[in-house]
Chain A
Amino acid sequence: MNAWDELVERCAMRRNEKIGPLSADAYRELLIAVRADPRAFVDDPAEQALLEVARALDAYRASLRDDDLLDDDAYQRERGKRLAALAASCAQAASIDGGCLDARLIEALALDLDPDPLLERLLDLEREAADRELPTGDAWADVLSRPRLRLRAAIARACLDGAHARMARACAGSVIDAAPNDEPGARHTLALACARLEDEAGLNELDARFSHREDAWSHLARVILLFKLDRMNAARRALRGYDELCEGGAYALLRPTLVEPYLPDRPDAPVRSFDECTFAVREAEPIIADTPDLIPWCQDQEWLVASAARFAQGRGLDW
């Protein structure tokens, strides 16, 4: 989430409502002015709260930088501290405007709960927010609707993490229906839910809907689906595809690492990059654990292990 960009857009919108409607050219000028100093244009509790969120996210991201130097215990302490600080800042932002869904979403996520308690909180939030209808057409185009879409995408991920695969599928599907370009990235959750439910038709339909734009999730989902459906030759081909097209995919799968909670959404990563692979593997983790011999089968593919080792060597990672 780029909170600053959304803040700029919202401030400009609000100013336009007050003094406008401005011509397209004048509105562009206004945007430039707001971008130069968003704080000066914040004159409503809703934007005030979002400003606090933007600052809190900056502070949180800045605090992530020095982790590599810490040992495990110190790391855990630091991690707990910075998540608690973020939760506190977001609670503070929500006290300025209780309707600031992003503040409350990030607060809930930063509490680092188990999937079901998290899901419960997120569903409560959604019930509260439900009185405002999502616009028809592309809801993402409406900057005020984006928090709702982010919340739904987070609900879908929590569903998948807590073994509510059908709910995850329905919820992620509703995000894509509301925002056809899927800026929140709910299709990835949908792909994994289809894999878990052994829903090949659903996964095919999703691939077609996004014109077979392949990414780490779609590849990994295909591997898991075919393995679960016991079509081992096809599963092996899919695994090769994942390995060849996703940078460091083999390493990410065979050496999963800790991934911080998404606050509030999945960080941007280049498509089929190593970072994307680590996200995909983390999100698939409960499904992988539910298919106990999937990873041992992957480890039996010598080319996959060799590929992971090469990647580790190239990056100076442990192997």
Chain B
Amino acid sequence: MAHNPQREDYQRLSLRFARELDAGDPGAATRAYAGFARRFAQDRDGLPQTDADRAFHLVVLATEAIDYQLPFASDEQAQDLIRRGRDLLGEALSLDPSCHDARRMLSSSETPSLEARYRFLADGADQVRASCERARAEQAASFDGERRALAADIAMRPYWRWMASLAEEALICGHNHAAAEAAEALLSSDPRDTSDVRFTLAYALAKLEDEPGLAALERRYALISPLRGPDDAWLLLAKVALAHRRLDLGAARRGLARLLDAYPSGALALIRQAELPDGEFARLRVSAGSEDELILAISEGIVLLQEGNDRAGRGALGSWVAGEVSRISPDAAREAARVSRQEGVQRP
């Protein structure tokens, strides 16, 4: 599903707009509403909005800069984008001190270590939850029916994103039970899993080598994610990892074959195993089943791939996966070697 900041921005203002119109003449309201999309695109500032709405819009702009432009920027542009992102988030917070998204995103550059970021997110979780639940209660009072459901959803999303970040950070820090607990807490607050936190949960269970837990999660997919079955790279890679950890290499090979079926152009990514920065707003939005999705899953899967004491430093599973995929796909192996050489040349 994934979080879509632009759409959320639109939804926030359309709800606000609808509420103001509901007070007046229904005919005029319908006509006015028809023009909303145009006004959103051309005259966003002229639409009715609160400081919280304005703050969220700044978060959206910061997300564009940090999550979507920064990865493709030159070193020079990068500094500007980072500064711009930070300024926007700071401004968002000064408009709305309870803009949890801004606070959470800023914390990743303001905390001195992974552990400190984890601590910050873990310590803040209850308070963010309470704050979002208060906002949800307020929204519930001002809307009916579908709008009420959407407003309630929007009110809770900052908490959901907070918990998704917490689960991911816990996983990176090696607090695997804490990662699973945060993911479960999020799933009970948002059973439809807007944040796709079940992916992080799959990795936490693989780190704990919890086979029954992972099997149970796969069965829960039907409820959590009725539109997308258990064919995502996270679950598939978690299963490969578990098979490899119990040294059932036959099952691990079959799992890898399933992964390559689901992501037919994924061999190169599986050999290279690149680590990318995580999305700050939320996990980056990519199409289901795309190579980009596999790249994200592999990057988050570094915690599984790179564990173990092998000399190459790729980790036991990482070396095995790269070796197997190179064997299946020699072309991809050659391409990976070529890209590595090129990077070696470019590196100072």
Interface residues of A (CB under 8 A from B): 114-116, 119, 123, 161-167, 197-198, 228-230, 285-286, 289-294, 296-297
Contact = CB atoms under 8 A, between A and B. Distances in A.
B309 A161 contact: yes
Interface stretch (B27-35, B222-230, B315-323, B338-346): B315-323
Most buried by B among A116, A119, A165, A291: A116
B172 interface: yes
B177 interface: yes
A292 B174 contact: yes
B115 A296 contact: yes
B300 to A, nearest CB: 15
28 contacts: A114-B309, A114-B312, A114-B319, A115-B308, A115-B309, A116-B308, A116-B310, A161-B309, A162-B309, A162-B310, A162-B316, A163-B245, A163-B308, A163-B317, A164-B245, A164-B247, A165-B245, A167-B246, A228-B174, A230-B175, A286-B307, A289-B307, A290-B307, A291-B174, A292-B115, A293-B115, A296-B113, A296-B115
Say whether chain A's binding surface is mostly helix, strand, loop, or mixed: helix
A229 B118 CA distance: 13
A166 B245 contact: yes
Contacts of B312: 114
Contacts of A114: 309-312, 316, 319
B17 to A, nearest CB: 44
Nearest to A199: B208
B209 A166 contact: yes
Given A164-B246, A167-B246, A286-B308, A292 B320 contact: no
A214 B316 CA distance: 31
A296 B172 CA distance: 15
Given A163-B317, A198-B208, A230-B178, A291 B309 contact: no
Pairs A-B, 10 closest by C-beta atoms: A291-B174, A293-B115, A163-B308, A163-B307, A166-B209, A114-B310, A162-B316, A161-B309, A286-B309, A163-B316
Nearest to B315: A163
A259 to B, nearest CB: 12
Contacts of A166: 209, 245-246
A166 B243 CA distance: 12
Contact of A228 (B114, B175, B246, B311): B175
B122 interface: yes
A167 B315 contact: no
Contact of B175 (A116, A163, A165, A229): A229
Nearest to A116: B316
Contacts of A292: 114-115, 172-174
A293 B310 contact: no
B247 A290 contact: no
Interface string B162-193: 00000000101111111000000000000000
Nearest to A123: B247
A291 B317 CA distance: 17
Contact of A115 (B170, B246, B303, B316): B316
Contacts of A228: 174-177
A115 B114 CA distance: 28
A197 B303 CA distance: 14
A97 B115 CA distance: 54
Given A114-B310, A167-B247, A229-B175, A197 B317 contact: no
B331 to A, nearest CB: 26
Contact of A116 (B113, B177, B319): B319
Contact of A198 (B172, B176, B308): B176
Given A162-B308, A229-B175, A230-B178, 11 more contacts: A116-B308, A162-B309, A162-B310, A163-B315, A164-B245, A228-B176, A289-B309, A290-B303, A293-B113, A293-B115, A294-B174
Contacts of B174: 228, 290-292, 294
B246 A198 contact: no
Contacts of B208: 197-198
A293 B319 CA distance: 24
